[in-house]
Amino acid sequence: MKFRFRRQGNDPHREKIKQDLFAFNKTVEHGFPNQPSALAYDPKLQLMAFGTKSGAIKIYGAPGVEMTGLHKDTAAVTQIHFLYGQGRILSLLDDNTIHLWEIVQRENRSHLVEVHSFSLPGRPGIESTSATRVTVMLLKLSCDLLALGTEGGGVHFLELPTLTLLNKSLFQDEIMQSVPEEYKCGKSLGPVESLQEHPQDSDKILIGYSRGLVVLWDLNSRHVDNLFLGKQQLESLVWERSGNSFVSSHSDGGYMVWAVSSSNPCTRDPISSTVPYGPFPCKAVNKILWRTTESGAPLVLFSGGMPRASYGDRHCLTILQDSSHVTLDFTSRVIDFFTIHCTDKDKEFDDPSALVVLLEEELVVIDLQMAGWPTVPAPYLAPLHSSAITCSCHISNVPPKLWERVISAGQHVLFFPPLHEDGTVRFWDASGVSLKPLYKLSTANIFQTDCDHNDSLTQAGEEEWPPFRKVGCFDPYSDDPRLAIQKISVCKYSGKLVVAGTAGQVIVLVLSDEKSDHMIDVATVDLLQDREGFTWKGHDRLPPRSGSVVFAPGFQPVVLVQCMPPAAVTAVTLHAEWNLIAFGTSHGFGLFDYHRRSFVFFHRCTLHPNDSLAMEGPLSRVKSLKKSLRQSFRRIRKSRVSGKKRAVFSCLPQVQEHDAEVAPVQRRIEPRSADDSLSGVVRCLCFADTFLRDGTHHGPTMWAGTNSGSVYAYALDVPSQEKFSEQSVEALLGKEIQLMHRAPVVSIAVLDGRGNPLPEPYEVSRDLAKAPDMQGSHSVLIASEEQFKVFTLPKVSAKTKFKLTAHEGCRVRKVALSNFTSVSSEDYSENALVCLTNLGDIHVFSVPALRPQTRYDCIRKEDISGIASCVFTKTGQGLYLISPSEYERFSLSARVITEPLCRVDVERPHDLSKCFLRSCDTEDWSNDAENSADITGINHILNYIPMENYLKKLH
């Protein structure tokens, strides 16, 4: 009989230690906001704001300056406007409510807080609910009055900042009294499409109605100063700087210039009327801007207007000035745009310096001062999802030398390379609040594919019309899905990189500072050479490019390992010190010596004899009815069986497990079928210098875990550095473990004699980490989808285990070993096992004792993509996709937290002269004008600073 003694109650001392080690916080959202729907800019504070369809408002300043506000109701933000220089913002939602937000100081940092809301009441007995729907908002430059144009044609006025409705509304019947009889024709004027404040006289506003009528209205005298009898359906209005003229854009794809004259109160014809892409029918010009320049020729910018039949599906924005004409061709819809220009009323010209375009999937900035109007690379807010993200990897504590070489290769302290569907790896600086693009690596050029983008529109000829120019980096289409990258492994000390893809390709790359022109060695491995009766029905492999290939400085491919059948690579790992890579697919795994360009072994096939589904390819869903029925009956039969089970170890003594004595906090786990589909998928691989053959001699080993709960451990004979070219690596299967419940093996990690994870390659030899304890007994931690087990080495006897407690259907999805440093003392730290389940909760366990430490709700269980994309860092942080374009960052550590610590100081509402913005995570908090100018606003995005200059300033 066995007895279990438990300590009653909690240990106060241990609870205090846990509080100093662990704390859960969602800290910041990285990436481009999902589904943006509105844009605003404050030229005084140099702040930019996005509104989204989910009801979020995101404010951006200099890198690291970010704030987010979320409306209580999930309604799309249709318009946003800054109160000039006040740190306030107005938002209009599609539920017809208006909200006022303020940047407030709390705990020495800035937050975005909603302070007022307003809903426009109907006009009893006259206007329907739709008639009071707000179509356009005009915030006067004085910030004391808000004008609202409605679908019913009325204009209402609110006092700011209280959002109080004033008794001075303007309705169509009052306007119609001034309209000539022949223009009325018994028709209404339609909704208000545009409201614009006169640039020189703030008491006057321009009101544009959908039917085409434009009215210059005097707010004080409530009088119509001028009427402009347009006949085309109106889309937008914009003033010319002097106020002597304005421009209207229309649904027929054209725009008109109108003169404003006190001597002619009723204007029937414009000065000029232009349909840039006529004469055939064109789509509407949705928005137009007219900017004056010192050269004399105005700069005209408008969205839409494309020929309906030929290019009606294009997302375009046109820039015109004199004979210069370019049609910016985007891959996603234009949401809104603005220019950076002179806003001083005393100046004669606008002199625009940059165009900022918010697209549905990215932000594009165009330099309007340089010839050709080139694109300005943004230091942040670049789209993570320029191609669909297929996996991510976080690399901690990057050596300065590698950091410099990566930046140099990118031409433009941690980095984070999301892998893309188009075969690219993009490196990002993830050490701060903003993800900054560093370097882009493409693997497509080593294969013969159709993904060379030789679009004729990219280099339009002089006579081609319209003069299209492809702009932006968002590319939603992958020419060949086989290029998609599934796994990555990096050695940050040697500059080696391994990427593996969907078509069984495993590519070894070496970081080089020089351009290279060389052939790539290709090695092919047939993982099914000893199997008969199976036919691969999936995609073909990617044919490698013949001959030499030119590679730019950066990571350059040197070896391509092609797995056959060409199924997706499911696991890969690299040991640069031993010159080895291990790779696995749904059919087996192998070990490759990339120094000698030879396979150590590749005959291991992990397929179960009945597992035919893995042979069909990723698009096949064929299962025999007989097999389905057989598996169903097996599950029914197993559900009726209870009692003790035994774990089976090939080449090892069997270990008895006592399920009958499971602790109350753990649950019983039902064993799985041995011939479940895809049981041969290799889930994890790892290298370790440990004891496998006996307890006195340690050496290199390789471990592999599969979907069927099998673990294979190989003892490796690796020659010394001096003999790499003379002797080959040899491998011998040392242990084969079959987990009792056949649950998929998620992770394998070897722990040293003190229970610490083994250091990474080169860390010990380069004095970057303490040598592992090779005196005490090593152990291996095997995490499956059901439970965690620690086995002693080399005997592989069960030491401790934990069966995860949760509701039925709980499965372990992601695990990692992280180090947690105490918030009270940086000299105290603990290693812990971090686990994410399919229910979205995170569990933290001590290592190697596997005692539960804490649990947090992190991701909604319905968010399958978020759970699948989660990545843990070695310092107790994590990231997961909350949308195709955004990562949510969270921290499990009480000490290591990455979050926006910024302040925007303003004096409301009168004295705005002392406004400045500062980022709290920068070292210099000086308030003087010189330093404020250097860190204030979005000038790092919009002031046309080349990327290399920006990085110099940042560091």
Per-position DSSP letters for 36-81, written without gaps between them: EEEEEEETTTTEEEEEETTSEEEEE-STT-EEEEE-SS---EEEEE
pLDDT at site 477? 75
Query: Percentage of the chain surpassing pLDDT 70?
Result: 83
What's the pTM value of the predicted model, to 2 decimals? 0.86
Q: Ramachandran region of residue 233, left (φ > 0), alpha (ψ -120 to 50) or beta?
A: beta
pLDDT at site 346? 86
Q: Which residue has the tokens 């707000």?
A: 134
805 burial level (CB within 10 Å; 0-12, 13-18, 19+): middle
CA dihedral 147, 148, 152, 153 (to 10 degrees): 30
Cα–Cα distance for residue pair 874/228, rounded to 1 Å: 66
At 163-222, the pLDDT tens digits run 999 999 999 999 999 999 888 887 789 999 999 999 999 999 999 999 999 999 999 999
Q: What is the mean pLDDT of residues 253-267?
A: 93
24-27 LR contacts (CB < 8 Å, sep 24+): 24/842, 24/854, 24/856, 24/858, 24/890, 24/891, 24/892, 25/890, 25/891, 25/897, 25/899, 26/888, 26/889, 26/890, 27/889, 27/890, 27/891, 27/897, 27/898, 27/899
pLDDT over threshold 50, residue 664? no
Question: Cβ contacts of residue 39 below 8 Å, gap of 6+?
Answer: 48, 49, 50, 51, 80, 335, 336, 337, 338, 356, 358
At 348-406, the pLDDT tens digits run 999 999 999 999 999 999 999 999 999 998 888 988 888 899 999 999 999 999 999 99
pLDDT over threshold 70, residue 125? no
Quick check: 77 and 96 in contact, CB under 8 A?
no
pLDDT at site 667? 54
pLDDT at site 418? 79
β strands within 120-268, DSSP E? 134-139, 145-150, 155-159, 164-165, 192-197, 204-209, 213-218, 223-229, 234-239, 245-250, 255-259, 266-267
654/308: higher pLDDT: 308
Out of 9-13, 459-463, 771-775, pick the least confident. Answer: 459-463
**CB hemisphere CA count around 786 (13 angstroms):** 16
Q: Ramachandran region of residue 185, left (φ > 0), alpha (ψ -120 to 50) or beta?
A: left
pLDDT at site 619? 37
Per-residue confidence band for 410, with pLDDT thresholds at 50, 70 and 90: confident
pLDDT over threshold 60, residue 655? no
pLDDT at site 104? 92
pLDDT at site 948? 31
- Say which amino acid occupies 783: A
> Starting at the edge strand that comes first in sequence, how are the strands of the sheet with 97-106 ordered?
77-83, 88-93, 97-106, 109-119
Out of 326-340, 524-538, 687-701, 879-893, pick the least confident. Answer: 524-538
pLDDT over threshold 70, residue 144? yes
pLDDT over threshold 90, residue 554? yes
- Of 785, 762, 535, give the one whose Cα is nearest residue 669: 785
